[in-house]
């Protein structure tokens, strides 16, 4: 009997509405080839939904998503909607509500894609970003914001449990790769929170003697991403640093539009959510020019997570073939439209 998966689809806003359907075409095509089927249900949540309903998703949104094997997501946010809301009311709600404490964000070279770096060395590493706590817990407040003596505070939270679980994930991942974890910190200045982060990671590292463990400051690591990206294998980092480093990773690949990712609940107690690393790009939305490779890569990461590794590999090979054949969008110096790229990937499956 052929396997069937239930996928919740949340295109969101802006280019999400264009690249998610193209990603779905690829998923359906690869499913047919590999003898499994996908049932999708689409949820029109996000900033557009907020304009109509005063909320980013219904109150029982998480309850609804719980019934699915995975969530295939674009991105949320629109210029006409308060931009403090999309993360708080959608993305973080799903990431924390579903214990998706790993943000898995791979960085690699794509054949045929011009990179901004001079080095021609092959790049292949994974950013493992802590995804539920750290700098993004949104604990804080504003005091007298309209007054001359106004102030705003955000508190970072680093718990032993939160650090240990993501560190174990990173070291286990490294064991399956080139056996190196570089953990990113700034404990020379954030002497309380991040020296605790360092300490707990160092304790976890002792359980993985076969994995090289290196510590690097965030400022130096941004330079190394540009100057020597080939030294990285698994980059273990905090929520904020990982957010920034993953856009840099996208740029190093050649475009933000090239990065795929997974918000992973490793225990599979809840569905995981798969989305490109970028946002809703309202500046280029509605023109069928957005680069869908990151969204398509996210589909591959999703299929691997739900147990269809061969289909995932098939997508990655088809992506490589497509970029080397020159199926490149405007951001990559090409002329292909969003749907041309999906057509090329489907043809190359
Ligand atoms: P962004 O990632 O949407 O765009 C940054 C730049 O990269 C823009 O010039 C855009 O055109 C370009 N770009 C991004 N993706 C591209 C693609 N696939 N193909 C070609 N070019 C691409 O970041 P920005 O402008 O800072 O934020 C826009 C909105 O997205 C905001 O409302 C923000 O809050 C939201 N956002 C949502 C995220 C999520 O839902 N997870 C993540 C990041 C931002
Ligand atoms: Mg980001």
Tokens matching residue 297:
């890569």
Asked which of 111-125, 163-177, 267-281, 306-320 is least confident by mean pLDDT, the reply is 111-125
In 3-state terms, what secondary structure has residue 54? coil
Is residue 2 predicted with pLDDT exceeding 90?
no
Closest ligand to residue 245's CA: 2
Nearest to 261 by CA among 131, 117, 112: 131
Nearest to 102 by CA among 331, 265, 323, 246: 265
What are the Cα distances from residue 165, in Å, to 158, 170, 200? 12, 9, 10
pLDDT tens column, 214-264: 999 999 999 999 999 999 999 999 999 999 999 999 999 999 999 999 999
Q: Give the nearest ligand 1 atom to 282 CA.
A: 28
pLDDT tens column, 27-74: 999 999 999 999 999 999 999 999 999 999 999 999 999 999 999 999
Q: Which residues are within 8 A (CB) of 136 and not within 5 positions of it... i.e. 6 or more apart?
A: 87, 92, 239, 240, 243
So what's the pLDDT on residue 125? 98
Closest ligand to residue 275's CA: 1
Q: Could you tell me the distance, in angstroms and rounded to a whole number, from the CA of residue 277 to the centre of ligand 1?
A: 8
Residue 87 per-residue DSSP state = I
Cα-trace Rg, the chain? 20
Q: Say how far apart CA 86 and CA 77 lie, in whole Å.
A: 6
CB 60 within 8 A of CB 344: no
Residue 19 per-residue DSSP state = H
Q: Give the nearest ligand 1 atom to 16 CA.
A: 18
What are the Cα distances from residue 338, in Å, to 15, 36, 115, 290? 10, 26, 20, 6
Spell out which residues line ligand 1, taking CB within 6 angstroms.
15, 75-77, 83, 86, 91, 255-257, 275, 278-284, 290-291, 294, 331
Q: Which residues are within 8 A (CB) of 193 and not within 5 positions of it... i.e. 6 or more apart?
A: 156, 157, 158
Give the position of tokens 């946002």. Answer: 279
* Residue 85, beta-bridge partner list: none
Nearest to 68 by CA among 37, 91, 40, 89: 40
Q: 106 vs 1, which has greater pLDDT?
A: 106
So what's the pLDDT on residue 103? 98
Tokens matching residue 36:
């499994």
Q: Give the nearest ligand 1 atom to 284 CA.
A: 11
Nearest to 45 by CA among 15, 70, 10: 10
So what's the pLDDT on residue 120? 81
Interface TM-score (ipTM) > 0.85? yes
Residue 109 per-residue DSSP state = P
Q: Could you tell me the distance, in angstroms and rounded to a whole number, from the CA of residue 278 to the centre of ligand 2?
A: 6
Show the domains of the chain with their CATH numbers: 1-101+261-349 (3.40.718.10), 115-253 (3.40.718.10)
Q: Say how far apart CA 5 and CA 306 lie, in whole Å.
A: 8
Using pLDDT thresholds of 50, 70 and 90, give the confidence band for residue 118: confident
So what's the pLDDT on residue 266? 98
């Amino acid at each position: 009997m052929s396997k069937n998966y239930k996928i919740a689809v949340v295109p969101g806003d802006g280019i999400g509405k264009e690249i998610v359907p193209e990603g779905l075409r690829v998923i359906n095509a690869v499913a047919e080839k590999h003898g499994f089927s996908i049932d999708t249900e689409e949820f029109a949540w996000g900033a557009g939904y907020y304009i109509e309903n005063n909320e980013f998703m219904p109150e029982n949104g998480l309850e609804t998503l719980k019934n699915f094997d995975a969530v295939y997501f674009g991105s949320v946010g629109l210029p006409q909607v308060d931009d403090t809301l999309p993360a708080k009311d959608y993305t973080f709600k799903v990431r924390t509500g579903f214990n998706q404490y790993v943000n898995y964000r791979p960085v690699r070279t794509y054949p045929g894609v011009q990179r901004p770096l001079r080095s021609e060395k092959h790049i292949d590493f994974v950013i493992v970003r802590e995804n539920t706590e750290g700098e993004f817990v949104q604990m804080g407040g504003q005091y007298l914001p309209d007054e001359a003596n106004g102030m705003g505070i955000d508190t970072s939270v680093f718990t032993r449990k939160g650090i240990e679980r993501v560190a174990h994930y990173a070291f286990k991942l490294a064991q399956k790769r080139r056996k190196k974890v570089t953990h990113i910190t700034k404990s020379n200045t954030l002497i309380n929170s991040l020296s605790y982060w360092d300490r707990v990671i160092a304790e976890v590292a002792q359980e993985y003697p076969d994995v090289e463990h290196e510590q690097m400051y965030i400022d130096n690591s941004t330079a190394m991403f540009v100057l020597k990206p080939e030294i990285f294998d698994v980059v273990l980092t905090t929520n904020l640093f990982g957010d920034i480093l993953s856009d840099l990773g996208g740029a190093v690949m050649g475009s933000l539009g090239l990065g795929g990712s997974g918000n992973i609940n490793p225990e599979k107690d809840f569905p995981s959510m798969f989305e490109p690393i970028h946002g809703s790009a309202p500046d280029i939305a509605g023109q069928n020019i957005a680069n869908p490779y990151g969204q398509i890569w996210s589909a591959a990461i999703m299929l691997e997570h739900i147990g269809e590794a061969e289909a995932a590999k098939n997508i990655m090979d088809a992506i490589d073939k497509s970029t080397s054949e020159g199926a490149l969008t405007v951001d990559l110096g090409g002329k292909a439209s969003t749907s041309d790229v999906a057509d090329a990937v489907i043809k190359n499956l």
